[in-house]
Amino acid sequence: MAKAGVASGVTAGGSQRSAGTRRQLVQAAIETLSSEGFAGASARTIADRAGLNQGLIFYHFGSVANLLLAALDAVSEERLQLYGAEVSTVSGPRQLVDAAERMFRSDFDAGYVTVLVEMIAGASSTPGLGAEVASRIAPWKDFARSTIEASLRGTPLDGVLPIGDLAHAVVALYLGLEMLGHLGGDPGPAFDLFSHAKQLASLVENLIPPNAPKEPA
Amino acid sequence: MAKAGVASGVTAGGSQRSAGTRRQLVQAAIETLSSEGFAGASARTIADRAGLNQGLIFYHFGSVANLLLAALDAVSEERLQLYGAEVSTVSGPRQLVDAAERMFRSDFDAGYVTVLVEMIAGASSTPGLGAEVASRIAPWKDFARSTIEASLRGTPLDGVLPIGDLAHAVVALYLGLEMLGHLGGDPGPAFDLFSHAKQLASLVENLIPPNAPKEPA
DNA sequence: GTCTATACTTGGATAGAC
DNA sequence: GTCTATCCAAGTATAGAC
């Protein structure tokens, strides 16, 4: 056991100065989770990186676990918003795979998916953390589902694929590819897969043009 | 930082008594990794579970990291052997998916894949650990590749699919499904996926019967 | 050779200074 | 309200007992 209990809602909303300190700590927590992993994300390590006293973590967040959750929140919100923007201009499966590849690349380089992976893997060490992490992962599955659904609209696959299960698989694959890529230091195989997926998506699109007008049922 | 450096080959081969102690520690390490995760797998926690003095870990393995690697070795070897046996009786994609589902179920229930996931995620916290873990994950990808290859022999997909990349994806998916299933406490969605995969595999098999004699090139 | 008691280091948390 | 100095628990590691 390393991190202590998960208090709820200790993210006090205070002054300007306080907000700045919190922001620095959250940023340092993200970087530490990326480079040292959950097990290496101690109060001291994080505070050192931010150039701040480690006690501040407990004052502002109540516990290390809560700071890490705040870091997860920050990453999840920012990325999800960016993903939404990327995807909004997309029509059809091939463009979607293309967008997914770009997002994976920038995620991988910045170490953002690592934050998710580390928090999921680390959750089992702290009582109560699992549920908190789960509630922050859920939006990703929702996002995957609605995006897949939208991109399939108008193609012959519309309505025949189990979207919910597919979304689950996509998220799982995304996390797994990140783990393997990070471990070997080489995300190469992941990008080979994206390239195959693009061919497959093109195949689907060439059967029937994307976004062809569809008869109302 | 929690675990210390990774010494090489400290797994001294000694007496009967020594072997028994090591076995108990490895077993306790596996259980601890499963239930508490990498971050919770301290020398004291593991030794307590085994009912042994924590100093024994350093005497027998040199460091906590080395004990955890020994645990990973044990799980990987035992499971890989069992997987090999399961798969040896298999012919064709559908039976393969069937076998994979059985293996995933027993792995998930026993927490064996969790050991892999936790070691991969935890690797980044200890210098040198990443490479050691990577070399122990590699056989899984090899196994996936040769198994997929064999099951496709004689089907119309033989030779057209990028086996290496597919194997990478399968391992990644396996790890990702484990993470998500473990997090939510419910591996359900993973099994839904297996069920879809079975339908897909049946489809492939019905195009051309499995293991149909193939013309030599 | 095997194990235990003990030394030392790092980590979480808070009482009290500003 | 914000932060720092300090405390105690938990972790790694080893010197020495058996």
The pLDDT assigned to B195 comes to 96
A214 or A94, higher pLDDT: A94
Q: A32-41, A185-194, B50-59, B67-76: which has the minimum mean pLDDT?
A: A185-194
CA distance A111 to A104: 10
The pLDDT assigned to A163 comes to 96
Nucleotides of C under 7 A from a protein CB: 1-6, 10-15
Name the residue among B210, B214, B212 with its Cα closest to residue B93. Answer: B210
The pLDDT assigned to A93 comes to 87
Residue pair B198/B97 in contact by the 8 Å Cβ criterion: yes
The pLDDT assigned to B217 comes to 43
Of A37, A114, A192, the CB nearest to B125: A37
Q: Which residue is nearest to nucleotide C13 (CA to C1')?
A: A58
Our measurement of the distance from residue A61's CA atom to the centroid of its chain's CA atoms, rounded to an integer in Å, reads 22
Q: Mark yes or no for CB contact A38/B39 under 8 Å.
A: yes
How far apart are the CA of B5 and the nearest CA of chain A, in angstroms?
Answer: 14
pLDDT band for position B206 (cuts 50, 70, 90): confident
Q: Rg for chain A (alpha carbons), in Å?
A: 20
CB of A18 nearer than 7 A to strand D: yes
How far apart are the CA of B14 and the nearest CA of chain A, in angstroms?
Answer: 32
| Chain A partners within 8 Å of B1 (Cβ) | 36, 40, 42, 45
CB of A56 nearer than 7 A to strand D: yes
CB atoms within 10 A of CB B2: 18
Q: Is the pLDDT of residue B208 over 50?
A: yes
The pLDDT assigned to A92 comes to 85
Q: Mark yes or no for CB contact A183/B37 under 8 Å.
A: no
How far apart are the CA of A29 and the nearest CA of chain B, in angstroms?
Answer: 14
Rounded, the Å distance between the CA of A193 and C1' of C13 is: 47
Interfacial B residues in 72-131 facing A (CB < 8 Å): 114, 117-118, 120-126, 130
pLDDT band for position B15 (cuts 50, 70, 90): confident
The pLDDT assigned to B8 comes to 59
A211 or B46, higher pLDDT: B46
What nucleotide is nearest A53 when CA is compared to C1'? D4
Per-residue CB contacts under 7 A with strand C, chain B residues 35-54: 52-54
Q: What are phi and psi of B159, to 5 degrees?
A: 90, -15
| A42: its two tokens | 């101690």
pLDDT digits (tens, 9 = 90+) for B126-141: 999 999 999 999 999 9
The pLDDT assigned to B212 comes to 52
The pLDDT assigned to A201 comes to 86
Name the residue among A154, A162, A144, A164 with its Cα closest to residue B200. Answer: A162
Q: What is the mean pLDDT of chain B?
A: 91
Helix (H, G, I), strand (E, B) or coil at A33: helix
Share of chain A above pLDDT 70, in %: 91
Q: Which domains does chain A have, with CATH numbers?
A: 72-206 (1.10.357.10)
- Average pLDDT over every residue of B90-107: 92
| B174: its two tokens | 């396996």
For residue B180, give Cα distances in angstroms to A175, A192, B41, B208.
9, 24, 21, 35
Q: Is the pLDDT of residue B144 over 80?
A: yes
- Average pLDDT over every residue of A199-209: 79
pLDDT digits (tens, 9 = 90+) for A159-197: 999 999 999 999 999 999 999 999 998 998 999 999 999
CA distance B217 to B196: 34
Share of chain A above pLDDT 90, in %: 77
- Average pLDDT over every residue of A77-89: 94
pLDDT band for position A80 (cuts 50, 70, 90): very high
How far apart are the CA of A96 and the nearest CA of chain B, in angstroms?
Answer: 19
pLDDT digits (tens, 9 = 90+) for A28-78: 999 999 999 999 999 999 999 999 999 999 999 999 999 999 999 999 999
pLDDT band for position A217 (cuts 50, 70, 90): very low
Of B2, B40, B120, the CB nearest to A179: B120
- Average pLDDT over every residue of B181-203: 92
The three-state (H, E, C) secondary structure of chain B, written as one string: CCCCCCCCCCCCCCCHHHHHHHHHHHHHHHHHHHHHCHHHCCHHHHHHHHCCCCHHHHHHHCCHHHHHHHHHHHHHHHHHHHHHHHHHCCCCHHHHHHHHHHHHHHHHHHCHHHHHHHHHHHHHHCCCHHHHHHHHHHHHHHHHHHHHHHHHCCCCCCCCCCHHHHHHHHHHHHHHHHHHHHHHCCCHHHHHHHHHHHHHHHHHHHHCCCCCCCCCC
| Chain B partners within 8 Å of A122 (Cβ) | 37-39, 121
- Looking from the CA of B174 toward its CB, the CA atoms found within 13 Å total 25
| A137: its two tokens | 């992962």
Q: Is the pLDDT of residue B86 over 60?
A: yes
- Average pLDDT over every residue of B100-128: 96
The pLDDT assigned to A91 comes to 86
CA distance B179 to B96: 22
Q: Give the chain A residue nearest B114 (alpha carbons).
A: A121
What are the b/e assignments for A59-90, b being 16+ CB within 10 Å?
A: ebbbbbbbbbbbbbebbbeebeeebeebbeeb
Alpha helices in A37-124 (DSSP H): 43-50, 55-61, 64-88, 93-110, 112-122
Residue pair A123/A130 in contact by the 8 Å Cβ criterion: yes
The pLDDT assigned to B4 comes to 79
What nucleotide is nearest B21 when CA is compared to C1'? C2
- Average pLDDT over every residue of B84-112: 93
